[in-house]
A = this chain, B = another copy of it.
Amino acid sequence: MPRTREFDRAAVLDKAMHAFWEGGYRATSLDHLLAATGLSKSSLYDTFGGKQALLLECLDAYARQLFAGPIEPLLRAGATFDDIREVFTRILAHAATPAGRRGCLANTCMGELGGSDAAVSAATGAIVERIESGFAAAVATAQARGEITNPESPAVLARFLFNTLSGLNLAARAGASHDRLQDIVRVTLDALAPAPAVAHTE
């Protein structure tokens, strides 16, 4: 009996996600979102509830694409140092695309709304948590295999790795050169398994 919906929910969500990703939350007005998604105000409100609720769904969609894309190697059981490397390689590759300048949606939202919106804070916190525990598992495996010689605990090294990621995303958004990002990644990865220094001293 009902009239058929004229849009695809998932496709609309994807477009809204890219709009937020580009401009952040406040700077992306509802009018802008309507233009980006092509639907009417009433449809948007009927379907998603409101601007904040839409952002939360976009963060979910963003997380899914993250865990299916650049972060995916980290979630495989038995991930190793190579998988950690692969994550950074993928991040760098994405940062090199025109869309890469937008950095990370979760990162941007955290910076903009972290202190003032508990729901957004929770959503981004969950993403952080999942990435970091992936790093920690991979570090533990890599330490057991001797690929990572840095004796800090997996949890600590995971924090360090995530922090580098976080900085990279902000740098990309600030327009950093590819070289700059590569340098940072190289030093970071090298910190996990430093070359044996000058050796033969003692």
Which residues does A use to contact B, with CB under 8 Å?
A: 23-24, 26-27, 101-103, 107-108, 110-112, 114-116, 121, 124-125, 128, 149-152, 156-157, 159-160, 162-168, 170-171, 173-175, 180, 183-184, 186-188, 190-191, 194-202
Q: Work out how many copies of this chain go into the complex.
A: 2
In the bound complex, do residue B27 and residue A173 qualify as a contact, i.e. CB atoms below 8 Å apart?
A: no
Given contacts A159-B180, A187-B157, A199-B202, contact A175 B108 (CB under 8 A): no
A152 to chain B, nearest CB (A): 6
Shortest A28–chain B CB gap in Å is: 11
Provide a sorted-by-A list of 12 A–B residue pairs whose CB atoms are within 8 angstroms.
A23-B116, A24-B112, A108-B111, A114-B174, A114-B175, A156-B186, A159-B184, A162-B167, A163-B164, A163-B168, A190-B191, A196-B202
In the assembled complex, the Cα of A167 lies from the Cα of B170 at a distance in Å of: 8
A112 to B199, CA, bound (A): 46
With beta carbons under 8 angstroms apart, the residue of B103, B111, B191, B195 that contacts A187 is: B191
Whether A152 lies near B187 (C-beta < 8 A) is: yes
Given A111-B112, A190-B191, A194-B197, 9 more pairs with CB closer than 8 A: A101-B115, A107-B111, A107-B170, A110-B173, A110-B174, A111-B170, A159-B184, A164-B164, A199-B202
Closest CB of chain B to A167's CB: distance in Å?
Answer: 4
Whether B170 and A170, one on each chain, are in contact in the complex, defined by CB atoms closer than 8 angstroms, is: yes
